[in-house]
Amino acid sequence: MEQAMKNFFLFLSKNQTLNAAAKKWGLRFGANRFVSGETIDEAIAVVRQLNENGLTCTLDHLGEFVFSVEEANESADYCIKTLEAIHRSGVDCNLSLKMTSLGLDISRELCMTNMRRILDTAKQYGNIFVRIDMEDYAHNQVTMDILEELLHEYDNVGTVIQAYLYKAADDIEKLKDKKVNFRLVKGAYKESPEVAFPEKADTDENYKKIIRQHLLNGGYAAVATHDEQIIAYVKQLVEEHNIPRSQFEFQMLYGIRTQSQIDLAREGYKMRVYVPYGKDWYGYFMRRLAERPANVAFVLKGMFSK
C-alpha cells in the first residue's frame, strides 16, 4: 500500500494540469509546511529565523516544466535575484537549482550560459556556493558532465550523488582529485532496476559506502538524510577516522524533523536546511507526500480542520 501511494504521488507530481491549478491555489492544504513562501522576501524571513536557531540554509526557487528559452532565462533571473537577496540580507545561505529549469532540455548551450550567469553572480557576492540538484536518471550523466566542465572555471559549484544508482561510487571516484562538494542522498525518483537498486536495504548499504568513500577521499560531504541510523553512522565514522567537522555537514528538508535539526546544531554539527520557495511548488510538494505516509496524514488533517 505504501509503495502504491508513493507511485501515485510521484505520478501526480508530473501532471502539468494540476501544476497550473496549484499556482492559483497558493500554498494551501498544508503545502506551507514544506515550502517557505511564494516570494523571496518570505523565504529570506524563514532563513533568518532558521539562522537564529543555529541552522544554515540553502534556498531553491522552485521551477518545473520549462519549455521555452524565455522561461529558462526567467528561471535563471530568479536564481540571480535569490543570490542578490542572500547578499543584501546577510543571511547564512547557499543556492540550489535544477538545470532543467535553466533550459537543459532545450539546449545544453542555453543551460551553460545561464549557469555561468548564476555562478559569476555568486562569485561577485562573496563566492556563494551553488548546488546543482540531481534530477532523474535521464539527466544524470549530462549533469555530471556539465559539473566537470564548470569545475575548470569555478570552485563554488557542486552537485548531488544518489546512492540508489549503481554508478554512484564510480561518479565519486572519477572526481575525487577535485575534492568536490557533493550532497549525498539516497534518491527519490522512481527508476528502473537496470540503473538503480530496487531494494531499500541495498540502497541504504550503498549510501553508507559512498559516504565513507567520499569522506576518506578528503571531499566535502553534505549528508542529506532524516534517517537516524545514517546520522549515527556518520558520527561514528568521523570519530573513528578523525575527520574534522569542517569536512562535512548534515542536511534536512524544511518542515521535516525540525527539532532534530536544532539538536544536531546544538551538538556542534553543521546543519543545513533546504528551503524551497516560489509559486511553482506543486511538483516539490507531491514528492514530499510520496516520501512518507505521515506527510499525507498531516495534509489531510489540515484540509479537514479548515
- Taking only the tens place, the pLDDT of each residue in 263-299 is 999 999 999 999 999 877 666 666 666 665 554 444 4
274 SS3 class: strand
Cell matching residue 187 = 534518491
User: With contact defined as beta carbons under 8 Å apart, do 299 and 29 qualify?
Assistant: yes
Average pLDDT score over the chain: 87
Count of residues in the chain? 306
User: With contact defined as beta carbons under 8 Å apart, do 248 and 234 qualify?
Assistant: yes
Cell matching residue 280 = 511553482
pLDDT in tens, the chain (306 residues): 445 545 544 444 454 554 444 444 544 555 667 887 889 999 999 999 999 999 999 999 987 678 899 999 999 999 999 999 999 999 999 999 999 999 999 999 999 999 999 999 999 999 999 999 999 999 999 999 999 999 999 999 999 999 999 999 999 999 999 999 999 999 988 899 999 999 999 999 999 999 999 999 999 999 999 999 999 999 999 999 999 999 999 999 998 899 999 999 999 999 999 999 987 766 666 666 666 555 444 443 333 333
- Residue-wise pLDDT tens digits, 122-166: 999 999 999 999 999 999 999 999 999 999 999 999 999 999 999
Domains of the chain in sequence order = 36-157+167-173+251-280 (3.20.20.220)
Which residues are known to be catalytic?
Answer: 133, 183
